[in-house]
Amino acid sequence: MLATNKLSKNSVKAMFSGSVSVSGYAETPLSRARVDKGEKRLTIEEYYAHALRKLLDNTGLRLEDLRGQGVGVTGSAYPRAEIWSAEVVQNLGLEPKFLARADHGGANGAALVVVGALAIYSGYVDHFLVLGADTPMNIAGEGALTWRYELDYLMPVGMMGPNSMAAMIMRRQMDQYGYKPEHYGSISVSQRFNAGKNPNAYFKTPLKLEEYLQSPLISDPLRMLDICPFVNGGFAILLSKTELARKVTDRPVKLLGFGEWHNQDAAKTSPDITTTGLKPAVQQALSLAGVKQREIGLFNAYDDYTPVVLMQLEDAGFCEKGGAGKFLEENDVTYRGALPVNTGGGLLSYGQAGMAGGLHHIVEAVIQLRGEAGERQVKTPAKALVTALGALAHGGSFINNYALVLGGD
């Protein structure tokens, strides 16, 4: 047998933790492209440009400082050239030594952070720029291209994309664990509360549980307010070798650990759809970081749908499988609570910038750990766990599963 697990649990652990830091970040203003309401309708190229410009302004770096370093670009689900990262760097005038692109859907941002961290840790580059942007609100008509298995075995029988797949997970959770609509609604309400204190979130109007319960059923039991709405937007994150991070910023945030796992139970033909593949990813991330579960003071969980947040509270170890409903009854998960979840509003209330959406969870953790979160600042900035999920599986839950542990300087 190849000693994969041995390698990840021992060799990397001894040396990785703390050797890579987040030295800069930027997020653009978001838009729903409602020109009739005075909103901007920018192109994806403009979002990339604005995210990079803002990162340079925030860090005081010049474009040429990034020459010969690493760059990672997220893909877009909407019709773009298949060769995409090349066009992005050409547009922006970037001249990298190392260029990566992710196609991990919601996990694009986390995937590029891991690629960048490994590139820096290996000594190949000193800095790695993660760029993500998407403009799903500009797309009319048929929308994203999708998987062969969805085209052949889901769409012909009347499945309606990710909404209907998330609804399958939710129905099974409700029947297997007795979860009630109120449990899911509590996530929507609490994240909207957090978003109300985040100037950059798109959906800030306070939300009552009654409004959640009255929101229309889309793919029953999934309601409108269980689903993250699209926004147009862009993000940038700069990773640096920790020794160099303080030359970029006086508030670096260490990437303490990371983990990922894909296509869990690959040979199971009838898996448990109420479980993600996050458990091994979280275990590796905590193990690399040398951080205990109880030290996590902020959990930014991937939240394209509310049932997905419940699954992750369980799979990341905050409660037992089937215990998320009770956990939510007993714990405040707003930024004021014992376990703040998605303090920036999450995709549900901040908005999902298409295939770049998952960068929100990472950027928000960095903002909190730098102490820059203003009214929504978590009182004791502690270690943060960020999770990311991508690719809904045929008959399962998610194929791509990521965990990042951030904290300390």
Partner 1 sequence: MSEYKRPLPQVTDYTKPFWEAALRGELVVQRCKSCGLFIWYPRPSCPRCGSIDLEWVKSKGLGTVYSYTVIRRVVANSPDFQRDIPFVVAEVDLDEGVRLYARLEVKPEEARTGMRVRVEFENVTPDIALYRFKPS
- Contact footprint for partner 1 (CB under 8 A): 141-143, 148-149, 151-161, 163-164, 167-169, 171-172, 175-176, 216-222, 266-267, 269-270, 273, 394-395
One-letter identity of residue 187: I
Gap between the Cα atoms of 306 and 315, Å rounded:
15
For residue 3, count CB atoms less than 10 angstroms from its CB and return exposed for 0-12, middle for 13-18, buried for 19 or more: exposed
User: In the complex with partner 1, which residue's Cβ is closer, 116 or 307?
Assistant: 307
Residue 336 CB, shortest distance to partner 1, in Å, is 35
User: In the complex with partner 1, which residue's Cβ is closer, 116 or 162?
Assistant: 162
Q: Tokens 């014992």 correspond to what residue?
A: 338
User: In the complex with partner 1, which residue's Cβ is closer, 29 or 229?
Assistant: 229
User: Nearest 5°: phi and psi at 230?
Assistant: -75, 145
325 Cβ neighbours under 8 A, 6+ residues apart = 177, 178, 179, 180, 183, 310
Cis peptide before 229 (omega within 30 of 0): no
User: In the complex with partner 1, which residue's Cβ is closer, 161 or 322?
Assistant: 161
Residue 165 CB, shortest distance to partner 1, in Å, is 9
To 10 degrees, what angle do helices 108-121 and 359-369 make? 60
User: In the complex with partner 1, which residue's Cβ is closer, 89 or 139?
Assistant: 139
One-letter identity of residue 352: Q
Q: Report the length, in residues, of the chain.
A: 409
User: In the complex with partner 1, which residue's Cβ is closer, 22 or 168?
Assistant: 168
Residue 263 CB, shortest distance to partner 1, in Å, is 9
CA angle 238, 57, 118 (to 5 degrees): 5
Distance in Å from the first CA to the final CA of the chain: 38
Residue 359 CB, shortest distance to partner 1, in Å, is 25
User: In the complex with partner 1, which residue's Cβ is closer, 7 or 151?
Assistant: 151
Residue 11 CB, shortest distance to partner 1, in Å, is 28
3-state SS record for 225-292: HHECCECEEEEEEEEEEHHHHHHHCCCCEEEEEEEEEECCCCCCCCCCCCCCCHHHHHHHHHHHHCCC
Residue 180 CB, shortest distance to partner 1, in Å, is 16
One-letter identity of residue 33: A
Residue 176 CB, shortest distance to partner 1, in Å, is 8
Residue 177 CB, shortest distance to partner 1, in Å, is 12
Q: How far is CA 252 from CA 148, 314, 408, in A?
A: 42, 30, 8
Residue 290 CB, shortest distance to partner 1, in Å, is 35
E-only strand ranges, 288-397: 296-300, 383-392
User: In the complex with partner 1, which residue's Cβ is closer, 112 or 227?
Assistant: 227
User: In the complex with partner 1, which residue's Cβ is closer, 51 or 169?
Assistant: 169
